[in-house]
Amino acid sequence: MRFSSYAEALNWLESHVDFERVAPNRQEIPTLDPVRDTLTLFADPQGDYPTIHVTGTNGKGTTTTLTSALLQATGLRVGAFTSPDLHAINERIAVNAEPIDDEAFISALERLSDVEAVSGIALTRFELLTVAALLHFSDEGVDVAVIEVGMGGTWDSTNVIDSDVEVLTNVDLDHTAVLGSTVGEIARDKVGIFRHDGVAIVATTNAIVVQIAQVRAEEIGSTLWLLGEDFELEENELALGGRAITLRTPYAYYEEVLVSLHGIHQGVNAATAIVAAEAFLGRALGEEVVVSSLGNARMPGRMEIVGRSPMIVVDGAHNPAGVRALVATLDGAFDVRGDRRCVIGMLTGRDVDDMVAPLVGAGFSEFHCCAPRSPRALPVGELAAALRRNGAVAFEHPNAMSALAHARERSTDDDLIVVAGSLYLVAEVRGELLHVASRHSS
């Protein structure tokens, strides 16, 4: 099929099942066969380059992006597949930090539509994007691709790759309807990305997760690198503009490196990225590469300042663990002398009280509730009721920009407004304030 425009290609993609917008469940027996069979029809492009595979409840996007930047700084041509995107789906597929251009994106979808028509294999939207990324990286002749898992690990469509390095950032309760109701069940799903003869990096000291990782690594013959044993984050301190980390890896020692991202969790993510890159290279990155890459790191939508007077910060915290990380970051990260207000919107599928309780405890004077632009948006009334149940002052608004406008009206130049709860909400507010147009289909 030939597409006459970017919009037409995007509409074809959006005609497929989208579990990112419609809450997934695991009612059927999971299988990777449709993705594998489709890739076979393209002569298995995922075998044309080595890969690093990244999973975890939180931090996997940052770890993927930072690992890619570190490897690019060594002179390698690096592909990166991440999700979700903020303003354009092209953001998900990048080579040397440059998103796929429209022409290449359209071409990839044309090839996929042709194969779908001939084979009769109907992939989901995310599966199509996975195959498109793996094709693009082959076409571009990358030296390595860093692939972020969409959800889980074992049955995620990205798990068709035979990775050289696997990374597990952390495990917390999220997507419990699909992955399991306990940390142990979720961890067992995530360690499914480990590979025989691969280096599996575990960046959490959670005893349950570590034990499950050890069992899996021993079963299949992975080399296991554990935080606190094989690598050590000795310091992770607040610094001007981000964090200062001191890290011991199997290959090197890095002292007081500035990471230009806010939050304790970002210090851990940066350390994990260094270790992942070195595991792939089989050597130290070197001080110059580490300092320059991490000192210039940027993660749009993650504790990002998008406005001043009052200061406006957007953060994609969309699950309880992400909210706890946000709260831990607020104290000391920003020089704010006034009140704190929160513009908040959430999706269904999470425990609302678990999400809002840490925010209420963080000292926000009031909350401005709205519904993100998603079919899975939690009704505003339910969100406001949960906040009031936890002792907060909550206002209800018809949309995100109305919520933000009201929060700004009630703020002084010395105040802080935090926008959080959903990446859909973050994308809308960020796009409006920074004048970045959305390229998503309406």
pLDDT of residue 178: 60
pLDDT over 90, % of the chain: 85
Q: Is 196 exposed, middle or buried (0-12, 13-18, 19+ CB in 10 A)?
A: exposed
The least confident of 20-34, 72-86, 265-279, 370-384 is 20-34
- For the sheet containing 199-202, what is the strand order? 98-99, 93-95, 78-81, 144-148, 51-55, 165-168, 199-202, 223-226
pLDDT of residue 351: 86
Looking from the CA of 253 toward its CB, the CA atoms found within 13 Å total: 3
Q: Which of the two residues, 28 and 232, has the higher pLDDT score?
A: 232
pLDDT of residue 336: 83
pLDDT of residue 210: 97
Pairing of strands 394-396, 416-420: unpaired
Residue 334: which pLDDT band, with cuts at 50, 70 and 90? confident
pLDDT of residue 17: 86
Q: Is the pLDDT of residue 177 over 70?
A: no
Q: Is the pLDDT of residue 332 over 90?
A: no
3-state secondary structure of 16: coil
pLDDT tens digits for range 41-60? 999 999 999 999 999 999 99
**Count of all residues that appear for the chain in the document:** 442
pLDDT of residue 286: 97
From 47, 76, 265, 62, select the one nearest 167 (Cα to Cα): 62
Chain centroid offset of residue 194 CA? 19
Q: Is the pLDDT of residue 137 over 90?
A: yes
3-state secondary structure of 45: helix
Q: Is the pLDDT of residue 174 over 70?
A: no
All CATH 3.90.190.20 domain ranges of the chain, comma separated, are 304-434
Q: Is the pLDDT of residue 231 over 80?
A: yes
Indicate the fold that domain 6-295 takes in CATH.
UDP-N-acetylmuramoyl-L-alanine:D-glutamate ligase (3.40.1190)
pLDDT of residue 23: 54
pLDDT of residue 22: 56
Q: Is 120 exposed, middle or buried (0-12, 13-18, 19+ CB in 10 A)?
A: exposed
All CATH 3.40.1190.10 domain ranges of the chain, comma separated, are 6-295
The amino acid sitting at 67 is: T
The mean pLDDT of 327-345, rounded to a whole number, is 89
Q: Is the pLDDT of residue 215 over 60?
A: yes
pLDDT of residue 28: 67
The least confident of 158-172, 220-234, 241-255, 351-365 is 351-365
pLDDT tens digits for range 378-426? 999 999 999 999 999 999 999 999 999 999 999 999 999 999 999 999 9
Residue 21: which pLDDT band, with cuts at 50, 70 and 90? low
* Cα 94 to Cα 72: distance, rounded to the nearest angstrom: 12
Its pTM stands at 0.94
Which residues partner with 232 through β-bridges?
248
CATH, range 304-434: 3.90.190.20
pLDDT tens digits for range 277-298? 999 999 999 999 999 999 999 9
Which residues partner with 81 through β-bridges?
93, 147
The mean pLDDT of 108-135, rounded to a whole number, is 97
Average pLDDT, rounded, for the chain: 94
Q: What share of the chain is helix, strand, coil (3-state, %, to 5)?
A: 45, 20, 40
